[in-house]
Amino acid sequence: MNEIYKIDNIKIKSPVDRNKETKIVAAVVAKKLKLCADQLCDLFIVRRSLDARKKNDIVWIYSAAFEFKGNRSEIEKIMRRNKEVSVYSPVKYKSVSVNLTESGSLVDPSYSESERPVVVGSGPAGLFCAYRLCLDGYRPIVVERGDSMEERIRKVDSFFAGGELDTDSNIQFGEGGAGTFSDGKLFSHLHDRSGRTEFILKTFVDFGADPDILYDNKPHIGTDVLRKVIVNMRHAMEETGAEFRFKTTFIEPVKNGDTLTGARFMDRDGNVTELECSTLVFAPGHSARDTFINIHKAGLDMASKPFAAGFRIMHSQGLIDMSQYGQERSALNLPPADYKLTGHTASGRAVYSFCMCPGGYVVNASSEKGHLAVNGMSNRDRASAFANSAIVAGVSSEDFGGGLFDGMYFQQMLEKKAYELAGGKIPVECYGDYCEKKNADFTASSLTAGGDMPIKGMFEYSDLRSILSETLNNDIIEAMAYFGRKIHGFDDPEALLAGVETRTSSPIRIIRGEDLQSSLKGFYPCGEGAGYAGGITSAAADGLKVAEMIVQKLTD
């Protein structure tokens, strides 16, 4: 195989025709290195980011890899002259050992049926854990309290239209997890030297995602595409022997001393069954509150952890575009602009934007009767005329108490207030009224352009200030004034708030050791719900990490 080289810091002024992007980059690289076009072979984009710091000179910055057709001495001379050219050495995810016969069929594993790994939860953590186990020739049983994707989408759409909430199949529970109804951002803050992130993105592409997520600095799959990808993954896993059991809720582990021997599950009719197993991955997501209580009763070591709470704020996407780009984005063929805002108040509390959704919607993300929570989502095209983001304040035991489940109860208390405030509809309020403690008539004149409304679910104008404590309200208002200096118009009185945002992360961590097992041997806490991730990519990476440990244990 010929050696591959990489060049960084290729700047191309916007707009760039995405249909000819690779050819455009190749032409710029050839010109910069003073090469003939035929000396660059199989060039592909490694990374793409947007530099909009200079509003009058917005540029795309690329890194690209290529094979060089010519004398090695010539490329070495180029590398000495241009320090942005180097040998390309990507981090690769370690290979998986698929147990296949020469005919391509799965070899029956040496372990018995009762030793098949059981994965609780089919969100990113559980799904990628099970997928990796499939690649190694194991046949995991994936147990999910919610419905398959097709049925789940139908129930969520019905709920948005005013139908009844299904507490087992909603935005939080069901195939794909909570990330299926989110913005679908795939970037994370992981410093990944294992190659897991690249493997995750490539897997998404293999099952139907746009290839640009492999190199975009802020990859975005979109909730509409992610739904299809997850179904394709499930079908592929089933072909290798994996089994999916939907509408089945994990109740509790069965143990002998400090060792797992099985687990109890309950179907929708209330029938409880026991499944014998010695390896169970616990990846239920951050909203499985009843399950957390059952786990605690079973004696597993757990700890409370801080999270954040606040509201969603909505602006016209045009306002955000003008602030970030200094002009309308259409002329430069730019994506809907995003933002990330952080600040600390005089009290020392952190307030920040969370899960920012360009061209997206606020959604009713409730999962419990009599309680209401919101989240944000967007499709692949991010075509809504509005941007939204959570503006949340960090909360800790000083706010909700020192008990193990006090953070969870604090979430429930806020969600109960939000539900009662608008009779089960999403409570919304203009920012100006929220600041001035007045409940004015709502016309939403600034948010109904084109007849669109950036909310999925029923909503009603309400007094949002009554949900949070005055301390939290004042901290959010203080931070919003600061954010308004960063993005002009961000704290406009007409901006619309929706509440309440509480599911920023799990309020619980299930303690695990270096072998990734809990205090109950054979029981592997995994992903965001267990307190070890925060988002689609990091949860999926934690799922891979747990699967790797299980494979190592089973093959020792």
Q: How far apart are CA 464 and CA 431, in angstroms?
A: 10
Number of domains in the chain: 3
| Predicted confidence band of residue 541 (pLDDT cuts 50, 70, 90) | very high
Taking residues 236-255, report their average pLDDT.
96
Taking residue 272's Cβ as centre, other Cβ atoms within 10 Å add up to 11
Residue 108 lies in a domain: no
Q: Are 365 and 487 within one domain? A: yes
Say which residue, 193 or 336, is predicted with more confidence.
336
Residue 109 lies in a domain: no
Residue 318, both tokens: 């045009």
Mapping DSSP to helix (H, G, I), strand (E, B) and coil, where does residue 553 land? helix
| Predicted confidence band of residue 554 (pLDDT cuts 50, 70, 90) | confident
Tens of pLDDT, residues 498-537:
999 999 999 999 999 999 999 999 999 999 999 999 899 9
Say which residue, 183 or 451, is predicted with more confidence.
183
Tens of pLDDT, residues 255-264:
999 999 999 9
Q: Are 380 and 267 within one domain? A: no
Considering only 95-109, 149-163, 368-382, 507-521, which range has the smallest mean pLDDT? 95-109
Q: Are 273 and 420 within one domain? A: no
Instruction: Tell whether the model's pLDDT for residue 157 goes beyond 90.
Output: yes
High-pLDDT (> 90) share of the chain, %: 82
Considering only 59-63, 68-72, 240-244, 292-296, which range has the smallest mean pLDDT? 68-72
> Is the pTM for the entire model greater than 0.85?
yes
The per-residue pLDDT for 36 is 84
Say which residue, 26 or 193, is predicted with more confidence.
26
Final residue before a domain boundary, out of 70, 87, 104: 87
Residue 104 lies in a domain: no
| Predicted confidence band of residue 96 (pLDDT cuts 50, 70, 90) | low
Q: Three-state secondary structure along 186-208?
A: CCCCCCCCCCHHHHHHHHHHHCC
Tens of pLDDT, residues 5-49:
999 999 999 999 989 999 999 999 999 999 887 888 999 999 999
Q: Output the domain CATH number for residue 170.
A: 3.50.50.60
Residue 47 lies in a domain: yes
The per-residue pLDDT for 72 is 87
Say which residue, 98 or 285, is predicted with more confidence.
285
Cβ atoms of 252 and 242 closer than 8 Å: no
Taking residues 86-93, report their average pLDDT.
90
High-pLDDT (> 70) share of the chain, %: 93
Residue 97 lies in a domain: no
Q: Are 249 and 314 within one domain? A: no
Q: Are 409 and 462 within one domain? A: yes
What is the Cα 432 distance to its own chain's centre? 31
- The parent domain of residue 50 ranges over 4-87
Considering only 398-402, 420-424, 453-457, which range has the smallest mean pLDDT? 453-457
Q: Are 45 and 132 within one domain? A: no
Q: Are 371 and 420 within one domain? A: yes
Taking residues 217-222, report their average pLDDT.
94
Residue 76 lies in a domain: yes
Of 490, 373, 502, 367, the residue nearest 427 (C-alpha): 373
Instruction: Tell whether the model's pLDDT for residue 107 goes beyond 80.
Output: no
Final residue before a domain boundary, out of 87, 103, 131: 87
Instruction: Tell whether the model's pLDDT for residue 442 goes beyond 80.
Output: no
Tens of pLDDT, residues 111-145:
566 679 999 999 999 999 999 999 988 999 999 99
What is the Cα 229 distance to its own chain's centre? 14
Residue 127 lies in a domain: yes
Q: Name the packing angle between helices 536-555 and 124-135 (round to 10°).
A: 40
Q: Are 44 and 127 within one domain? A: no
The per-residue pLDDT for 92 is 86
Q: Are 463 and 425 within one domain? A: yes
Q: Output the domain CATH number for residue 25.
A: 3.30.70.2700
Residue 215 lies in a domain: yes
Instruction: Tell whether the model's pLDDT for residue 319 goes beyond 50.
Output: yes
The per-residue pLDDT for 448 is 46
The per-residue pLDDT for 105 is 38
Q: How far apart are CA 502 and CA 499, in angstroms?
A: 9
Q: Are 438 and 382 within one domain? A: yes
Q: How far apart are CA 37 and CA 34, in angstroms?
A: 9
The per-residue pLDDT for 106 is 42
| Predicted confidence band of residue 449 (pLDDT cuts 50, 70, 90) | very low
Tens of pLDDT, residues 61-89:
999 999 998 888 899 999 999 999 999 98
441-470 residues labelled b (16+ CB within 10 A) or e (exposed): ebebebbeeeeebbbbbbbebbebbebbee
